[in-house]
Amino acid sequence: MKGLILKDLMCLRKQLTSFCFVMVGVLVASVMYVLSARFGTMAKVGQEMLKESASQVDVRNIGSMVLVMFMLLPIASVGDMLYVFLADGKAGFGKVSASLPLPLKKRVLARFLTIYAMFGIGVAVDLLLAFLLSCLTDMLKFREFFGIIISGASVMSIYSALVILFCVVFGYGKEQYAQCAALLTMLTAVVLVNFDKVKRFVVETLIRENKAESADFWAPLDFIREKGYVLFLIAAAVSVLAYCLAYRIADRKRGVI
């Protein structure tokens, strides 16, 4: 299984290179933004917004949203199992995978362990960046940074687990369909779980053209900042379910993954 994990990591080596460049860019840009928000142009922009119609909460949350984007970039760039399946398809790995002297359970598990190892690297580096930023700004505390990092890693884990599942379902050559299916599944789940809130937002904001309440508008940000553990538990459940389904489907395909 170690060999399969190393093989998958080699398929993701370009992303690891991109990850290094992203980390350098994010570090420089985020530090410059934080300093500007405290002493420079962004601080003046915030003061002008307060003089108009924005509240202190709105100004703080807008600044927080920018930092959220910075924190999510490394995790989003660190790994996507789609590239592993694309590389395996080009190399014809599916023709020999079923004959490997390794149980199917471990071969399927290797795919999941690879992507979670990549996310572990992203989370570790993000935590170091969060510690640095929390020392430079009072927009977000380290605890809030930690919640954002866990939320981002959890969402990407759900996406990657679904990509692996649908790649096994559709087979080689249809990886783009697997990616679309994973995104559509996640979007559908979010809409169904928050159907009442989505309906109220559409009716009040888009149809009646009323201004959305500030608390409702910033609710998603508050959720990922304060309740990352909920997304973590959901990601764990989805990963286990995706692994079980992927194994059963691969077993029916005579071990071809």
65-101: string of b/e by CB count within 10 Å (b at 16+)?
ebbbebbbbbbbbbbbbbbbbbbbbeeebbeebeeee
Q: Which of 69-73, 85-89, 142-146 has the highest mean pLDDT?
A: 142-146
Closest CA to 102 of 224, 236, 226, 7: 7
The whole-angstrom separation of Cα 20 and Cα 26 is: 10
| Lowest mean per-residue pLDDT among 3-7, 118-122, 221-225, 242-246 | 3-7
Residue 216 has pLDDT above 70, yes or no: no
Alpha helices in 79-213 (DSSP H): 81-91, 94-97, 104-136, 142-170, 175-193, 195-201
Average pLDDT on 239-255 reads 86
pLDDT at position 92: 67
| Lowest mean per-residue pLDDT among 107-116, 143-152, 189-198 | 189-198
Residue 227 has pLDDT above 70, yes or no: yes
Average pLDDT on 162-185 reads 87
Residue 207 has pLDDT above 60, yes or no: no
For residue 93, give the 3-state DSSP assignment: coil
Q: Which residues contact 111 (CB under 8 A, 6 or more apart)?
A: 4, 8, 81, 84, 164, 246, 257
- 193, 158 contact by CB (below 8 A): no
Residue 237 has pLDDT above 90, yes or no: yes
Place of tokens 């300093």: 35
Q: What is the mean pLDDT of the chain?
A: 78
pLDDT at position 204: 62
